[in-house]
Amino acid sequence: MIKCKEAKKSNFKDKVVIITGASSGIGRTTALEFAREGAKTVLVSRPADKLGGVADEIRCFNPNVLVVPTDVSDAGQVHQMVKTVLSEFGRIDVLFNNAGSSYVGRVEDENFIENVKKIMDVDYFGTVYTTKEVLPVMQKQASGHIMNMSSVVGKKAFPHFGGYSSAMHAISAFTDSLRQELSGSEINVSIIHPTLTQTSLLEHVRPEDMPPPFRGMTPISVELVAKAVVNGVYYNQARIIVPFQPRLLLLADSISPHIGDLIVKLLSNKVFSRLFGTYRGKLYHEYKY
């Protein structure tokens, strides 16, 4: 039985918000957060049944929700999704490109290239396809906000994460370029770089195969990331890094990659991670997703 929560504020009242990867994790929680702010939410993902469950949660307090099952790695499906949204709501105010997959493995692995291609199709090209479809709509409206999901590893790569880090870096570069191209228009562009988060993204990975820095790290909550996304759009923050500790890593890495590499290596140590503030007594595989 779904337990309904009342709507909160109305900062996004009647704004049309598309969330890709909305069936679970950060996407689901962000959709609920936008809906509580009064938004008309569009839930986009591949599993229609899961999207239906999220939609039922939202309808408890906000009837304005649309489910559009879509594989964002398919440009044709993305085109049709945007047409459906415009037919239903007539406009698009916010796009949150959140859909993604993951892969853990060394560059030397035999299936590295094959797996990286799959990640790029969903994570990177999914972001590009959806942005390219939505952008003309926002330009015609002379308003809108595009928020892209990356990761801390989209700024500093981690070992065993060469493929995923490559996709996240690509999204970072795409977003940075797009923001500058749209400077002076009424369309804002943001990117968020969360650290390891309590989602099912890596549930298929054995603890011993996790990227070494993650082995001594407590994942942050999806609620923290979702609130950062919504606030980032509301306050038009160009770049968001959550929580604050990764900023120290990125600062150290900008001074010297060797210092950055050392911090990444030390993060696998629970004692260092506790002192650094990234280990709080529970590891990724100890959560149920």
Rounded alpha-carbon distances, angstroms, from residue 56 to 62, 65, 66, 144, 199 = 10, 9, 11, 27, 21
Residue 178 CA to residue 174 CA, distance in Å, equals: 6
SS3 call for 242: strand
| Other residues' Cβ atoms within 10 Å of the Cβ of residue 60 | 15
DSSP string of 8-26, one letter each residue: ---TTTT-EEEEETTTSHH
Q: What is the dihedral of CA 169, 230, 32, 21, to 10 degrees?
A: -20
* Residues 251/186, Cβ–Cβ less than 8 Å: no
**Is 164 labeled as catalytic in the residue annotation?**
yes
Residue 28 CA to residue 129 CA, distance in Å, equals: 21
- Annotated catalytic residue within 103, 124, 164, 284: 164
Indicate the burial class of 141 (C-beta count within 10 angstroms; 0-12, 13-18, 19 or more). Answer: middle
Residue 179 CA to residue 24 CA, distance in Å, equals: 28
Residue 273 CA to residue 283 CA, distance in Å, equals: 11
Residue 173 CA to residue 193 CA, distance in Å, equals: 13
Half-sphere exposure of 22 (CA within 13 A, CB side): 35
Residues with a known catalytic role: 164
